[in-house]
Amino acid sequence: MELINIIAAAAAAWAFGAVWYMALAKPWQAAANLSEEQVKQLNPMVYAISFAMAVVTAGMMRHIFASSGVTTIGAGAISGFGLGAFITLPWLVTHYLFAMKPKALIVIDGGYGVIGSTLMGIVLMAF
């Protein structure tokens, strides 16, 4: 049952990412310095690997939640938000600042990390 929860949480965050990046395609492409043609040429394995990474993330979040006594949807949402905002985002900001990436890319990619983690926390605790 836990594996199903983990896969469902990963799928929710991954699907949210599809919507997020479709809605922000133009500003993301500009900030990432990618053309539409370059994005279209992405190897399909990128999508499979990104889903696998979402499964890894959801699995670790489930472990952290179990170890911390997180048992409700509200606590899952708050804990997911906290992991996204205070673990994922600071690392992303650090990497992007040293790589001299635009602030818009930090906001777009960081927003996905925080909201995606929040969604994972909700779905993990919903079942």
Domain housing 54: 2-31+44-126
73 occurs within a structural domain: yes
Are the C-beta atoms of residues 37 and 96 closer than 8 Å to each other? no
- 17-52 pLDDT, tens digit each: 999 999 999 999 999 999 999 999 999 999 999 999
Q: Tokens in use for 80? A: 């997911």
37 occurs within a structural domain: no
36 occurs within a structural domain: no
39 occurs within a structural domain: no
Low-confidence ranges of the chain (pLDDT < 50): none
Task: Return the number of other C-beta atoms located less than 10 Å from residue 34's C-beta.
Answer: 14
Domain count, the chain: 1
38 occurs within a structural domain: no
Q: Tokens in use for 52? A: 């696998």
pLDDT in the model for residue 127? 84
**Helix residue spans in the chain (DSSP H):** 2-23, 25-32, 36-40, 45-68, 73-83, 89-98, 103-126
Question: What pTM, to 2 d.p., does this model score?
Answer: 0.94
